[in-house]
Amino acid sequence: MQNRPNHDPKGPNDPSWDDHTDVAVIGSGAAGLSAAIEARLAGASVMVFEKMPVTGGNTRISDGGLSAPENFMQNRLGVVDSFQLFYDDILQAGLGLNHPDLVEVFARHAAEAVDWIWSLGVRYAGRLDQFGGHSVPRTVTIEHNAGHEIIKALTTRCHQLGVTIHTRNTLARLVTESSKRVTGVCLSCKTQASANTPGPQTDGSAGRIRHIRAERAVVLATGGFGSDVAFRTCQVPRLDDTIGTTNHKGATAEGLTAALKIHAMPLHLSWIQLGPWGCADETGYGKGARFASYSVFPAGILVDPAFGSRIVNEWADRRQRSDAILKTGHACIGIVDDKGAKKEPDSLTSCLKTGKIRQFDTLAGLGAACNMPAGSLEQTVADYNQWTAQHRPDRFGKQTKKHTVPLDTPPFYAVRLWPKVHYTPGGLHIDTHARVMDLFHRPISGLFAAGEVTGGIHGASRLGGCALTECIVFGRIAGQNAAAIPPGP
Ligand SMILES: Cc1cc2nc3c(=O)[nH]c(=O)nc-3n(C[C@H](O)[C@H](O)[C@H](O)COP(=O)(O)OP(=O)(O)OC[C@H]3O[C@@H](n4cnc5c(N)ncnc54)[C@H](O)[C@@H]3O)c2cc1C
């Protein structure tokens, strides 16, 4: 027998399998739970394994924004959009690195994913957002920005269908048979007591080892690696621990590397996305970041305090905006007036109390407090206001949009912005059936993947609201196809 690290002699009747199921799903975010539901509806027995004590991963802490062309809210509000416009926007942000066949599947099924989540009982806020890089408003958002409502609804459906969800179970490796088919998973399972001991939840080293046979297939849905400083620094050395992240602490790369160990093809791992709205005065993704995302960038300006001048098109995609801030070498100031601040009133109220946002009666006062050269901010805002009346692209290529308004209504608000690692567009190469491809472009038998652990859809930069929709689209595809695999020998 060959001595390969992931090769496992266990056959279907080997008594040392601890348990078995038709489909084993690894990861309990939007992608994993969507896959679990579809696999179960297709008649398979399903077990979900999650390494953290709570389910949901980044999905749970997300804003719950879902972008889709021709979605129900656009139809209701009369916003004209199309598959082609969405597709083109994604490829433009992705610098053409995107795999067109995957983008096509995503774009064609995006609106359906929005409706599916609604059908599970999740409710959307009655508005439509437009984020940088999108040509039209096309993002619907879960009421109160509560991404955890998606997890609640998916988990409830899983329970109704008899899908079992096992927390504190870390995928240690994928089990393969000599045919190279993936036949199961090796998990490190922590008891309540060991899970509560200090130290990372991510290595699985302290756990009891269990082998679960997956008669039909394994779906890998372990999310991205934004919190894995060692792994991300290896891809992009400047993204060391001096750069924060918005991700939950379980967003590490070991699910991805388990697939790489059995020769899965990686894609675009070094295109790591930073959120330009990262707030320098909070850790993770807090209300300062949300205020910047929903108020400052749509309705305000971004200013380099060293010169008191704008540095980028505030509607550009995340990569362009983050790069512009990083280039200055210091935190930049997001500025919005009272009208714009009303777009995100809850975050404003909270951040004024904590000091993450500061309020000023005049632009001169704001400029002085941020050490800008005297008079520079007033001039910058005067130029900007003049431009918004002219309906032509400004010097950064910013187009006048419906929501681009002059900054003319005091008080003015300032928030310090420094990008944080937010999303990892790179990951495993999948095909349109969500099958994981190997280094020779062949599907790895018995292995599917969906969500942020995969790569190729977003290319160099993901547009806002496109991750959750994509997780649901490909999670569902992965689950349906995993259940359709005939049981192994
Ligand atoms: C603060 C924040 C806000 C966001 N807001 C939005 C938004 O509004 N709209 C949008 O489209 N996108 C948003 N995103 C991005 C989006 O939330 C994620 O890309 C998406 O939730 C990823 O879903 P997933 O199912 O692939 O992974 P996750 O939801 O992260 O789930 C993966 C799960 O796998 C588990 N796991 C990892 N490794 C293992 C292992 N070895 N064994 C077992 N389990 C493992 C993790 O613990 C985790 O629970 C946001 C992200 C963040 C961080």
Domain-by-domain residue ranges, the chain? 21-270+422-483, 277-418
Q: Give the closest residue to 60 by CA, choosing from 255, 218, 284.
A: 284
Peptide bond into 12 cis (omega under 30): no
**Active-site residue flag, 462:** no
Q: Is the distance from CB of 250 to CB of 202 less than 8 angstroms? A: yes
Q: Is the CB of 285 under 6 A from ligand 1?
A: yes
49 CA: nearest ligand 1 atom: 43
Confidence of residue 179 (pLDDT cuts 50, 70, 90): confident
Q: Which of 198-202, 241-245, 299-303, 373-377 has the lowest mean pLDDT?
A: 198-202
According to the model, what pLDDT value does residue 190 have?
A: 86
Q: Give the closest residue to 136 by CA, choosing from 184, 181, 71.
A: 71
According to the model, what pLDDT value does residue 178 have?
A: 76
Q: Which amino acid appears at position 230 of this protein? A: A
CATH of segment(s) 277-418 = 3.90.700.10
According to the model, what pLDDT value does residue 390 have?
A: 83
Q: Is the CB of 332 under 6 A from ligand 1?
A: no
According to the model, what pLDDT value does residue 194 have?
A: 45
Mean pLDDT over each residue of the chain, to the nearest integer: 93
Exposure of 448 in the CB half-sphere (CA atoms within 13 A): 31
Q: Is the CB of 474 under 6 A from ligand 1?
A: no
According to the model, what pLDDT value does residue 244 have?
A: 95
Q: Is the CB of 222 under 6 A from ligand 1?
A: yes
Task: Please tell me which residue in 318, 319, 416, 435 is annotated as part of the active site.
Answer: 318
Confidence of residue 404 (pLDDT cuts 50, 70, 90): confident
Q: Whose CA is nearest to atom 36 of ligand 1?
A: 222
Q: Is the CB of 52 under 6 A from ligand 1?
A: yes
Longest dimension (CA), the chain: 79
Q: Which residues contact 436 (CB under 8 A, 6 or more apart)?
A: 220, 259, 264, 428, 429, 430, 443, 444, 447, 448, 449
Exposure of 361 in the CB half-sphere (CA atoms within 13 A): 0
Confidence of residue 421 (pLDDT cuts 50, 70, 90): very high
Task: Give the whole-angstrom CA distance, residue 217 versus residue 23.
Answer: 5
Q: Is the CB of 247 under 6 A from ligand 1?
A: yes
According to the model, what pLDDT value does residue 435 have?
A: 98
Task: Assess whether pLDDT exceeds 80 at residue 2.
Answer: no
8-state DSSP, 312: S
**Ligand 1 geometric centre to CA of 338 (Å):** 33
Name the percent of the chain lying above pLDDT 90.
Answer: 85
Q: Do domains 21-270+422-483 and 277-418 have the same CATH topology?
A: no
What pairs with residue 185 in β-bridges?
174, 212
Q: What number of other Cβ atoms are within 10 A of residue 487's Cβ?
A: 11
Confidence (pTM): 0.92
Q: Is the CB of 246 under 6 A from ligand 1?
A: yes
- Alpha helices (H) along 198-344: 229-235, 254-261, 287-291, 297-299, 318-328, 338-341
Backbone torsion region of residue 280, taken as left when φ is above 0, otherwise alpha when ψ lies between -120 and 50, otherwise beta = alpha
Structure tokens at 140: 């619907």
**Ligand 1 geometric centre to CA of 29 (Å):** 6
According to the model, what pLDDT value does residue 4 have?
A: 39
Q: Whose CA is nearest to atom 17 of ligand 1?
A: 59
8-state DSSP, 373: P
Q: Whose CA is nearest to atom 52 of ligand 1?
A: 62
Note the pLDDT tens digit of each residue in 211-233: 999 999 999 999 999 999 999 99
Q: Which CATH class is domain 21-270+422-483?
A: alpha beta
Note the pLDDT tens digit of each residue in 345-394: 999 999 999 999 999 999 999 999 999 999 999 999 999 999 988 878 88
According to the model, what pLDDT value does residue 355 have?
A: 97
SS (H, E, C) 266-302: EECCCCCEEECCCECCCCCCCHHHHHHHHHHHHHCEE
468 CA: nearest ligand 1 atom: 11
Task: Assess whether pLDDT exceeds 90 at residue 399.
Answer: no
59 CA: nearest ligand 1 atom: 21
According to the model, what pLDDT value does residue 403 have?
A: 60
Note the pLDDT tens digit of each residue in 181-192: 999 999 999 875
What pairs with residue 438 in β-bridges?
264
**Ligand 1 geometric centre to CA of 142 (Å):** 16
289 CA: nearest ligand 1 atom: 1
Q: What number of other Cβ atoms are within 10 A of residue 264's Cβ?
A: 24
Confidence of residue 198 (pLDDT cuts 50, 70, 90): very low
Q: Is the CB of 170 under 6 A from ligand 1?
A: yes
64 CA: nearest ligand 1 atom: 8
